[in-house]
């Protein structure tokens, strides 16, 4: 290994609140479609174990619903005592490979699927949810208190399972992001209107999670910088939210992201549209009909750019003291190194690591300088229908 390679910034250890990661690469949460009956499986552990063995500092178990009503898919893990044994096996397996284990806690809110949750979806305001194919109801004060309790209870379970970090999903148009977004939040009470009111629920949830997590577990939020469309959350309001969270002292870091699942999914994904593959995979004739009518606009091609969230993230870097995780189109070693030189504390990678689970070890060995991901988004199309995987890896695997 050459001296130049050993001095890579991404290979240096770094602290995330009370924990230390062996390097600065975090596997960002991407729904794995490997859970069953809301519980852990050996296949899900094995998928993340390969990532951990590949050298990353921390991997993130994606979308664990804080209650059964917060699910988007029927098999999705939801946090309860019954899930603890599997979660413990997961965390232990990551530790065996030298990586830290994070868990993403979330609630789908407005577009939770009633077929999975068994309940009518609930969000900031009453609205028709195309995903749920029904009208959501506006959250009551009792609902809002329950959300905070559910997130805190889920965080306590994650700590009991041995997770090193808890990620709270405040992005992509999920429940907490819905409260931030004027598109979803049309309330006129203390939970709506100015950004300080719209930020009230995410702040209360994060304070509750922080208290439940204790002093030995890191807590960070996945926060939208903007929703990617007119009428959604804009950058100046997102920056105000970030400042409020920093003032609260509830997070050890922020993972910066963008896009709204039900409005601008390609703003987050960038690259080729997954629409043809989505249409082919979806068993529901009703959803296929909806995709044929609306999909071309919802999943329009959005040109890929290396490090596409970097320009927006620089505004947060210039203002905040809170450590930041940069996400979005990080495929090349030189892009990653420059981002760390600018002051980002961690790099959150998704598709690049789906393409090359051994990416960090390959970088360290000087074997490659980029992941090889083509941004075809076939892995995205699989989510919820088949185990998430890279078709380029599958094509190169022995028969």
For tokens 């379970």, what's the residue?
A: 157
Catalytic residue among 174, 183, 220, 267: 174
Query: Alpha carbon of 278 to those of 263, 300, 301, 355: distances in Å?
Result: 16, 13, 14, 19
What gap in Å lies between CA 53 and CA 68, rounded to an integer? 32
Listed residue (310, 338, 330) closest to 370, CA to CA:
330
**Cα–Cα dist 213/63, whole Å:** 18
Tokens 């390959």: give the residue: 362
Is 63 annotated as catalytic? Answer: no
Distance CA 9, CA 338 (A): 9
CA distance 370 to 113: 37
Which residue, among 187, 206, 197, 209, has the nearest Cα to 140 in the 3D structure? 187
- Between the alpha carbon of residue 115 and those of residues 73, 111, 292, the distances in Å are 8, 11, 22
Which residues does the annotation mark as catalytic? Answer: 174
């Amino acid at each position: 290994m050459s001296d130049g390679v050993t001095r890579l910034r991404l290979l240096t250890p770094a602290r995330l609140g009370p924990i230390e990661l062996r390097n600065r690469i975090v596997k960002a949460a991407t729904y794995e479609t490997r859970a069953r009956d809301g519980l852990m499986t050996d296949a899900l552990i094995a998928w993340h174990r390969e990532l951990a063995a590949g050298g990353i500092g921390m991997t993130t178990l994606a979308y664990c619903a804080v209650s059964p009503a917060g699910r988007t898919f029927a098999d999705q893990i939801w946090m309860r005592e019954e899930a603890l044994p599997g979660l413990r096996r997961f965390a232990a397996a990551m530790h065996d490979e030298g990586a830290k284990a994070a868990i993403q806690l979330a609630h789908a809110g407005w577009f939770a699927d009633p077929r999975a949750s068994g309940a009518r979806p609930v969000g900031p305001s009453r609205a028709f949810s195309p995903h749920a194919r029904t009208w959501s109801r506006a959250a009551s004060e009792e609902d809002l208190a329950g959300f905070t309790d559910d997130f805190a209870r889920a965080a306590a379970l994650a700590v009991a399972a041995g997770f090193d970090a808890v990620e709270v999903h405040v992005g992509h148009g999920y429940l907490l992001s819905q409260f931030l977004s004027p598109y979803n939040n049309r309330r006129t009470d203390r939970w709506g209107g100015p950004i300080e009111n719209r930020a009230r629920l995410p702040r209360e949830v994060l304070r509750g999670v922080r208290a439940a997590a204790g002093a030995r577990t890191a807590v960070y939020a996945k926060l939208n910088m903007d929703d990617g469309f007119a009428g959604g959350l804009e950058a100046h309001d997102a920056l105000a939210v970030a400042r409020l969270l920093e003032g609260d002292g509830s997070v050890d870091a922020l993972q910066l992201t963008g896009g709204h699942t039900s409005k601008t999914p390609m703003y987050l994904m960038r690259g080729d549209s997954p629409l043809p593959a989505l249409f082919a995979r979806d068993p529901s004739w009703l959803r296929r009909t909806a995709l044929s009518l609306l999909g071309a606009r919802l999943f329009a091609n959005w040109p890929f750019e290396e490090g596409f969230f970097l320009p927006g993230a620089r505004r947060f870097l210039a203002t905040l003291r809170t450590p930041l995780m940069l996400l979005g189109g990080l495929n090349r070693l030189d892009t990653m190194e420059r981002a760390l030189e600018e002051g980002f504390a961690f790099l959150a990678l998704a598709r690049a690591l789906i393409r090359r689970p051994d990416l960090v070890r390959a970088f360290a060995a000087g074997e490659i300088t980029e992941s090889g991901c083509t941004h075809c988004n076939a892995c995205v199309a699989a989510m919820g229908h088949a185990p998430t995987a890279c078709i380029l890896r599958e094509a190169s695997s022995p028969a």
